[in-house]
Amino acid sequence: MQIYVRPHVLARNSTVFRDARRWAVTAVKDSYHGLKCGVEIHLQLNTKTKLFSNSKTSFHAAPNENVSYFDLALPGSQPILNRHAVLLALKAATALNCKIHRRSMFDRKHYFYADQPAGYQITQFYHAIANDGILWLQPRDGISSQDKLGVRITQIQIEQDTGKSVYEIDSDRTYIDFNRTNHPLIEIVTAPDMKTPQEAAAFVHKLQTLMKHLGVSTGEFQSGAIRVDVNVSTNGGKRCEIKNLASINDIIYAIRAEYGRQLREVDEGKVVESVTLAWDGRNISVQREKEGSTEYRYIPDPELPPLLLSEDIITKTRENQPKLPDELIDELMASPHGLNLANAHTLVGHGLVDYYYSSYKILEEADIKGKNAANWIINDILGIVPAGEEKLLPSILTPSRLTDLIIAQKQGKITKIVGMNIIKFFLENPEDHRDSAQVIDQYQLTTMKDNSILDAICSKVLEQHSDLVELVISGKKPSAIKFFIGMVMKNGKGRFSPQDSETAIRRILTDRHPEYANSQSDRV
């Protein structure tokens, strides 16, 4: 087992969260008078198979590996609706407080493009599955106002994703990958209820967290699981659409840039025309004039039957809806947990709230403060879990394994370093199902009290770093003692507690260099 030296790790998601708070700050400085934003979000649904075929959905397959006859629009192939996709759309619509329609329909939207094999996309244009929802934003979500802000959801519709065109550099060839073709999506459209870039960003971030929490979508920008278009209008003027914003920061900066562009147009005496815009990370540019003139020739799909939902499934989805992030964060921040907002966000964001609660309960029953579990999980463990695999944590490092280690550490049986090493061992060996106590016993990891071995290790460390010893004794760099403690713990493979190590080092230094004892007493 290798020694793990832990850098101070902030759970990954909290970077986004810190951004959210910064948005709130910038909002104070900037004025966005007359700005109105609405968003259109495409979310890839977390299903095993595609929307209308049996081929698998995946992000990591070789090009055109997961493609069925229907995905390729082969003649004679037909769509068969994936019920799981409908169920996920239903969960999303329920969480967004939408009016869910017992009868909805699928329509075809036509346009020719190489990555659109049928020449049309199956979507819900005339009769979508849900309308008229609302998502409430709170001040802690990163909006500037002190009141809640309700963002109205105009529509949620189920639709197919397109394939991907891959352009070869220095060539006129385009390659097409149909793996993404027919991946289920929901499109969520809001009313123009957001009045600053920060509010739009906060909305998207909150929606991401919510959908991830419900298992509806991974909500990741990087993989394209979420794609965001923003509509911007100023002072009641025409609205312009910024397409395909790739991160929360892009949303903020693109809206800010577009707001500036629209104000300048008006200043120059022009009228803002309805256009489609692109954001390249620095500049906003007009992509296509006259939005709205595109002729999509919508037609109800002539062979897909209406999507009928029973009252029962709608009711059950509502009843089985888990606690939503807002409620969980309130709980975690309240007594007895008393977590700060960032930590509460981290647990909710990674879906680890139940995991924490289970561990909390076991610890409390063992008369140890349950909150220790949160500290271990957030500050230590998440730093060594590979990104994206956080959800697997509870099944590998089960609450009983985790709490056994915390209890052992609190009782002085093992050091925290050993504890973390064991956790790392568990994560690297998911097939190993032994409990924590067995591993501690088998590898003899209990904290050692053998002073002769400790002294030998300390002496060796001090000999190897005689130059540093000099600095410590002379009082030029007393803090170097911490380095010695670290090295002793490393060489002792974590078997000696930091307290014991420090005591031994100081004792040896004092023994060998009486002047050191004096400098210590001076300090005191």
Partner 1 sequence: MSVSQHADKLLKEAKICLSNISALNRRLNALISVRPSESVLARLSEMTSTEPASPLAGKLFAFKDNFCTIDQPTSCASQMLQGYVSPFEATVLTRLYKIGHAIDVGRANMDEFAMGTDNVFSIYGPALNSLYSAPHSAGGSSGGSACAVSAGMCHFALGTDTGGSVRLPAAYCGVIGFKPSYGLVSRHGVIAFAQSLDTVGVLARDVPTVREVFNVISAHDPLDPTSLSNEVRQQLKRNTSRRHNERNGRYKIGIPLEFIVDSCSSDITNAWTIVLKKLLAQGHELYAVSMPEVKSALPTYYILSPSEAASNLSRYDGVRYGYRANVDRDATGVLYGVTRSHGFGSEVRRRILLGNYNLSSGAFKNHYIQAQKVRRKLQLAFDRVFSVDHPLEKPIKRDDQPTVDFLVTPCSTGTAPLLADVLSQKSPLDSYINDVLTVPASLAGIPAASIPWNTDDGKVVGIQVMGQYGDDDRVLDFSETLTRL
Task: Judge if the upstream peptide bond of residue 336 is cis by omega within 30 degrees of 0.
Answer: yes
- Residues in contact with 114: Cβ distance below 8 Å, sequence separation at least 6, in sequence order: 163, 165, 174, 176
Name the minimum Å distance from CB 131 to partner 1: 20
Name the minimum Å distance from CB 181 to partner 1: 11
Smaller CB separation from partner 1, 52 or 496: 52
Smaller CB separation from partner 1, 113 or 136: 113
Question: Which helix (H) or strand (E) segment is 166 a member of?
Answer: strand 164-167
Of 297, 292, 343, nearest in space to 119 by CA: 297
Name the minimum Å distance from CB 74 to partner 1: 7
The residue range among 29-37, 67-75, 313-321, 345-353 that interacts with partner 1, by the rule CB under 8 A, is: 67-75
Total chain residues near partner 1 (CB under 8 A):
29
Q: Is 9 in the site for partner 1 (CB under 8 A)?
A: no
Which residue shows structure tokens 């949160």? 374
Smaller CB separation from partner 1, 142 or 163: 163
Smaller CB separation from partner 1, 7 or 75: 75
Are 176 and 162 in contact, with CB atoms under 8 Å apart? Answer: no
C-alpha 182/C-alpha 344 separation (Å) is 36
Residue type, 317: T
Name the minimum Å distance from CB 51 to partner 1: 13
Q: Is 305 in the site for partner 1 (CB under 8 A)?
A: yes
Binds partner 1 by CB under 8 A, chosen from 299, 308, 334, 453: 299
Q: Is 298 in the site for partner 1 (CB under 8 A)?
A: yes
Binds partner 1 by CB under 8 A, chosen from 297, 316, 323, 433: 297
C-alpha 449/C-alpha 202 separation (Å) is 53
Q: Is 78 in the site for partner 1 (CB under 8 A)?
A: yes
Which residue shows structure tokens 């979507």? 123
Name the minimum Å distance from CB 175 to partner 1: 11
Are 133 and 153 in contact, with CB atoms under 8 Å apart? Answer: yes
Question: Which helix (H) or strand (E) segment is 239 a member of?
Answer: none
Name the minimum Å distance from CB 425 to partner 1: 48
Q: What is the DSSP string of 267-285?
A: HTTPPPP--EEEE-SS-EE
Cross-strand pairs, 108: 122, 299
Restricting to residues 343-372, which ones interact with partner 1 according to CB under 8 A? none
Name the minimum Å distance from CB 80 to partner 1: 6
Smaller CB separation from partner 1, 117 or 419: 117
Q: Is 74 in the site for partner 1 (CB under 8 A)?
A: yes
Name the minimum Å distance from CB 34 to partner 1: 31
Which residue shows structure tokens 């975690």? 332
DSSP-derived secondary structure letter, 140: G
Binds partner 1 by CB under 8 A, chosen from 76, 236, 269, 336: 76
Are 258 and 240 in contact, with CB atoms under 8 Å apart? Answer: yes
Are 106 and 123 in contact, with CB atoms under 8 Å apart? Answer: yes
The residue range among 293-301, 310-318, 440-448, 458-466 that interacts with partner 1, by the rule CB under 8 A, is: 293-301
Residue type, 189: V
Smaller CB separation from partner 1, 291 or 354: 291
Q: Is 120 in the site for partner 1 (CB under 8 A)?
A: yes
Q: Is 176 in the site for partner 1 (CB under 8 A)?
A: yes
Are 333 and 344 in contact, with CB atoms under 8 Å apart? Answer: yes
CA angle 6, 9, 10 (to 5 degrees): 165
Are 245 and 229 in contact, with CB atoms under 8 Å apart? Answer: yes
Count of other CB atoms within 10 angstroms of residue 373 = 27
Q: Is 303 in the site for partner 1 (CB under 8 A)?
A: yes
Name the minimum Å distance from CB 176 to partner 1: 7
Binds partner 1 by CB under 8 A, chosen from 236, 269, 302, 386: 302
In the chain, DSSP finds a helix count (H) and a strand count (E) of 18, 16
Q: Is 295 in the site for partner 1 (CB under 8 A)?
A: yes
Smaller CB separation from partner 1, 126 or 136: 126
Q: Is 69 in the site for partner 1 (CB under 8 A)?
A: yes
Max Cα-Cα span within the chain: 94
Q: Is 72 in the site for partner 1 (CB under 8 A)?
A: yes
- Residues in contact with 520: Cβ distance below 8 Å, sequence separation at least 6, in sequence order: 506, 510
Are 145 and 139 in contact, with CB atoms under 8 Å apart? Answer: yes
Q: Is 281 in the site for partner 1 (CB under 8 A)?
A: no
Binding marks (x or -) toward partner 1, 80..119, rule CB under 8 A?
A: xx--------------------------x-x-xxx--xxx
For partner 1, the binding residues (CB under 8 A) are 69, 72-81, 108, 110, 112-114, 117-120, 176, 295, 297-299, 302-305
